[in-house]
Amino acid sequence: MGGEDEYRSVVFDESFVRAARLQESSARERMTDHAPAVRRRPPLRRGLTRQALVLVMLILAAFGTAIYMGVRHPYGTDEAQQPVEPLRMTVIPLSPQGKVPGAADAEALYAHSPAAEYEVGAEGIPLPTVHSTAHFSDSQVVTALTTVKDYLVRSSLYPEVLDSSEVRPARALLDPGQLDQFDQSVDHPVADGRHAPTGWLVRFDPTRAELADPRIRVQGNLRATETDPATLEISADHTFVYALRPTGTPAGGAQVSLFTVRRELTFRFDRDDLRQHQTQLVVSYVQAGPLSCAEDAADHLRPLLAGQTAKAGGPAGTNPFATDGTTALCGTLATAAEPKV
């Protein structure tokens, strides 16, 4: 009994037992396997297991790849984003040779004009058959064409844009690199080939004319071309025909006349534009009439209405010594382009 008391102060906790290098075989093991009384235990594994180490390495590799792809342009140096080109625009008024034809009914005018077979509204802007290009897929080409159609609808057919009360529907589709030019055009319009709102939009002088029929007639086409591995270009050529009457005149209170705008536009897309469903409008060539060449068509289109004739005088003078200006242009509206009434 006295010998046992000597070891009462010794405590063997679990960690001590697990760390022991020798392990006593159980009675069953000694009876069945004739095992020795004790056996050496395998050394404890310290640190991470092999599976845990592999998992950690995979996480680190994925994290490193994400950082690398985030700082490197995903399309390589050949497709680095190019500076956005400013819009170059030309707006040509078309002056009538006599009085502007008119009628009490817009449908009668349309029926006796070259727009008789035109579609109404967005139906006149169909998408062409889509084919992939060398570096752009079918879906990317469709995205570009759809964005252009949306821009044409918003800038040529929206009533709030036509009456000059809004510009935001079209502005929202532009590449951010063109927004300053667009805003300057609207806030400080100048006929300099860069800052005429009528190069961006179709909008009428709200004090002069308003829509007599919301069913605007449209005809034209779209064409997609790859200009380089990083750029997709869409060419749009459409003619819009509007039925107008004097502002504030009740229906039937004045004759209706037709006004024609032909817009030849070139849109450009890089891959960021395609992802963001936005576009760069780089060329705008507009012919519109009947207008008076003596009036400025940069800020608003000021249509000549039924029974009116063009004012005497040509467009504003052009100074050939001014290198920062643009040539003033004006054309004559052919009688074949007017309704036969």
In angstroms, rounded to a whole number, what is the distance separating the alpha carbons of residues 245 and 248?
Answer: 9
In angstroms, rounded to a whole number, what is the distance separating the alpha carbons of residues 211 and 203?
Answer: 11
**Residue 113: count of CB within 10 angstroms of its CB:** 21
Q: What is the pLDDT of residues 103-116, one digit of tens each?
A: 999 999 999 999 99
**What letter does residue 60 receive in the DSSP assignment?**
H
What is the per-residue pLDDT for 73? 44
In angstroms, rounded to a whole number, what is the distance separating the alpha carbons of residues 331 and 329?
Answer: 7
Q: What is the pLDDT of residues 67-93, one digit of tens each?
A: 655 544 444 434 455 688 999 999 999
Q: Where are the domains of the chain?
A: 85-316+325-337
What is the per-residue pLDDT for 159? 97
List the one residue out of 159, 170, 334, 331 whose CA is nearest residue 243: 159
What is the per-residue pLDDT for 60? 82
Tokens coding 283: 């060329």
- Phi–psi pair at 302, nearest 5 degrees: -115, 85
What is the per-residue pLDDT for 71? 45
Residues 275, 156, 126, CA angle at the centre, nearest 5°? 65
Written as one letter, the residue type at 112 is H
Greatest Cα-to-Cα distance within the chain, rounded to the nearest angstrom: 137
In angstroms, rounded to a whole number, what is the distance separating the alpha carbons of residues 281 and 320?
Answer: 28
What is the per-residue pLDDT for 23? 62
Q: Is the pTM of this model over 0.95?
A: no
Residue segments in the chain with a per-residue pLDDT below the cut of 70 = 1-49, 65-82, 313-328
What is the per-residue pLDDT for 45? 54
In angstroms, rounded to a whole number, what is the distance separating the alpha carbons of residues 10 and 16?
Answer: 12
What is the per-residue pLDDT for 74? 43
